[in-house]
Amino acid sequence: MQPDPHSAAGDHRAAGIPASEPTIPTQEGTEDMTPDQISTEGTVSSQGGVAETPDGLLTVGKTLPDGEAMLAVRNLKKVYHTDGGDIEAVRNLTFDLPQGQLACLVGPSGSGKTTLLKCISGLLAPTAGEVTLHGKKVTGPPKSMAVVFQEYGRSLFPWMRVRDNVELPLKNQGVDKAKRDELVDNALEAVGLAHVPKSYPWQLSGGMQQRVAIARAVAYQPEVLLMDEPFAAVDAQTRADLEDLVRSVWKQLGVSVLFVTHDIDESVYLGERVIILSSSPTVIQQDVLIDLPEERDQLETRSSQRFSELRHHVYEQIQLAKKGFRPEDALAK
């Protein structure tokens, strides 16, 4: 039922349709409701849909038929009960993460990104809805999931050397010494830290500390890797290197990666898909397919026409979200 958005867009442009016209030919979702605010440059395909949820008619992310998704998030809601009253951080989120995909979650600050990630990783219990991994409901941190946190300085054990930090989860699982050494060596090699196993984490720069945290996750051999704004606290040049590192680790291991960020460029550069979150209480605003070439390069990719189109689109959506745009209100109209 979905027309090919690219060819459609090409037609519009060729026909010289003025900017005020609704030119985004996505079949459903939010664009239709706010045509005047949508980019007219390129076209972006939204993979999401609209579904009837316990919270009313809502936009949802792309879902797969039952049993096919690796990680499934269904009608996830999180309400914090505080003395000052209830705070609805996440209203309703539904999307799937297929095996081996690298998806970015991007949203305005305070859009409950960290809350969402904590619910997915089993650190927080959702108020309603559920997260399933291979069809099994997540009630605590699952064994096949690893999380890389933003605060690298607080997620590494300062009393352990780099190597011991990477080795600890394996040791805890009872992996034998030879296998452990191999996994740790490979992981440190993969993140380019083979030369500092005997240092303490705090002796390293911020970027290197985050590399250690990534190495620890890699050595753990997870099926799903969750990353919570991992590069928000490192400088721009280091960040570019780390982005490429994530892409290469992802390709090497074939893991599914869910990468949370507030950096729009980063989300477009990294992901195969960008899930845009609304402002709090969070729902999915749009689920955008990132159809950039497989091989990404900080110079080439970022200066390409397609990159700037996608970036433009995501940026606009985030601006909308910041202004308090609610996808469900638009649907109700």
**Residues near another protein, by CB under 8 A:** 118, 121-123, 140-141, 143, 145-147, 149, 151, 154-155, 157-160, 168-169, 172-173, 200, 202-203, 220
Nearer to another protein, 233 or 330 (CB): 233
Distance of closest approach, residue 207 Cβ to another protein, in angstroms: 15
Distance of closest approach, residue 128 Cβ to another protein, in angstroms: 22
Distance of closest approach, residue 231 Cβ to another protein, in angstroms: 16
**Cβ burial, residue 18 (10 Å; 0-12/13-18/19+):** exposed
Cα distance between residue 120 and residue 132, in whole Å? 8
* Residue whose structure tokens are 């397609």: 306
Cα distance between residue 98 and residue 219, in whole Å? 22
- Within 188-267, strands assigned E span 224-228, 256-261
Distance of closest approach, residue 149 Cβ to another protein, in angstroms: 5
Distance of closest approach, residue 121 Cβ to another protein, in angstroms: 6
Cα distance between residue 45 and residue 103, in whole Å? 15
Nearer to another protein, 169 or 271 (CB): 169
Nearer to another protein, 207 or 281 (CB): 207
Distance of closest approach, residue 209 Cβ to another protein, in angstroms: 12
Cα distance between residue 202 and residue 238, in whole Å? 17
Cα distance between residue 256 and residue 223, in whole Å? 6
Nearer to another protein, 161 or 306 (CB): 161
Nearer to another protein, 216 or 247 (CB): 216
Give the list of residues 6+ apart from residue 323 with CB closer than 8 angstroms, or none: none
Nearer to another protein, 171 or 323 (CB): 171
Helix (H) or strand (E) holding 309: helix 305-322
Distance of closest approach, residue 222 Cβ to another protein, in angstroms: 9
Distance of closest approach, residue 156 Cβ to another protein, in angstroms: 8
Nearer to another protein, 160 or 289 (CB): 160
- Within 170-313, strands assigned E span 224-228, 256-261, 273-277, 282-289
Give the list of residues 6+ apart from residue 37 with CB closer than 8 angstroms, or none: 316, 320
Distance of closest approach, residue 13 Cβ to another protein, in angstroms: 46
* Residue whose structure tokens are 């699982």: 173
Cα distance between residue 321 and residue 299, in whole Å? 29
Instruction: List the Cα angle 71/76/80 in 5-degree steps.
Output: 130
**Cβ burial, residue 202 (10 Å; 0-12/13-18/19+):** exposed
Nearer to another protein, 202 or 254 (CB): 202
User: Which residues on adjacent β-strands are paired with residue 91?
Assistant: none
Nearer to another protein, 228 or 328 (CB): 228
* Residue whose structure tokens are 């080795």: 167
